Amino acid sequence: MSQENEILTLDGSVFEGGGQVLRNCVALSCLLNKSIQIVNIRANRDKPGLRPQHLSGIQLVRDIFQADLQGDKIGSREILFRPEKVGSSKTYIADTKTAGSIALLIQISLLPLVFSAPPPVSHLTLPPRANKVVLKGGTNVNAAPPIDFLIEIFRPIVQREFGFTFDINIIGRGYYPQGGGEVMLRVDPVVGRALNPVKMVDRGTVVNIKGQTSKHYEYTCSGISDPTLPEISGIKPDIEINVEKAVSKGFDLLLWAETSTGCIMSGSAIGSKRQSPEDVGKKAAEELLQNLSHGGCVDEYLQDQLIIFMSLAEGKSQLATGPITMHTRTAIHFAEKMLGIKFQISKLESRQYVKLEDDAPDEAYDGGPFIIECEGVGLKIVNDNAQQTA
């Protein structure tokens, strides 16, 4: 049960000040069985407070953990979230009723689903069944990772490095502004053990370049070859066309490079009426090349998403990155605040990694490569659903 007299108040305007604060902190609230109050939600955005996708996300997690949730309405800048126990349902539904990002719904619910397994029936010791969530909204929208990023980049890295399994099945695609997309998320709970630590410090060399697009195959090769990156010269991109039905019209492109050490770097772009398909292809290619140029093992989008997993894993995690994004610094700040751990960031200088001090200026996080390290808490759940740390 939650400790009602111990409510941790968190300022949602700190650092990046967007929806990521809400997603990470609500997820950690459930896993730690800790009541939280978040104030100044999305204070740094043009439309502050909860938007449909944020509201749908916290209500989904509320249902999974039978939480007491206050302040859950559009535009709210403050919520109170008190988790209780894992619910008995194995299938949940979250519908933004807009083009709100389905990828961001997955971000807030994935770890709660990983660590939510109802107690066994009687004396039976069968493994827990998978949790399932039907998610409705936008699959490919601006200001959020496309659903294909989660499938092709995020999922293989997270499953391999942290040691759990989940599936993302696209039923229908939805674009801005109509939305209407639908995705089935299936997550196998982890019981009796912690997540593995990640160690990704060697980028290796590029061996494949792949892509996923909704249409206009001809634009996808634009901008791939670059004389400043001779290691990828001559690699012809292997582009696949999305086959799922699209409820609303739109086109997009995701490119990714696979390396000899198992790293996956990406670049993406979503089309609009003001952009030609060639422009979309060029933007995605330039983003991919930029992510390859810094020598790290993850791109700027995957970088911040791995922080919460590193903080919960058992043992020391090490991650080589390019410039440290504000999203990553935000994720680190709230993981440290809620878990009582400490991250260390070091930058390569004169062939040696030098630790950045806590009061380092913003410009110190530019360039790279960097190494992000932390000793995770080793979170585990046991059969009676009690959250424990190793």
**Would you call 327 a catalytic residue per the annotation?**
yes
**Annotation-wise, does 302 bind a ligand?**
yes
**Annotation-wise, does 304 bind a ligand?**
yes
**Annotation-wise, does 344 bind a ligand?**
no
Q: Which of 358, 301, 368 is nearest to 333 (CA)?
A: 358
Give the span between the Cα atoms of 152 and 155, in whole angstroms. 6
**Annotation-wise, does 70 bind a ligand?**
no
Taken in order 182, 157, 89, 141, the sign of the CA dihedral is negative
Residues 6+ apart with CB under 8 A from 362: none
Residue 350, burial from CB neighbour count under 10 angstroms (0-12, 13-18, 19+) = exposed
Taken in order 226, 230, 234, 238, the sign of the CA dihedral is negative
Encoded tokens for 177 = 């502004």
**Gyration radius (Cα) of the chain, Å:** 21
User: Among residues 123, 216, 294, 327, which one is catalytic?
Assistant: 327
Which residues contribute to the annotated binding site for ATP?
107, 301-305
For the annotated catalytic residues, the residue numbers are: 327
Which residues contribute to the annotated binding site?
107, 301-305
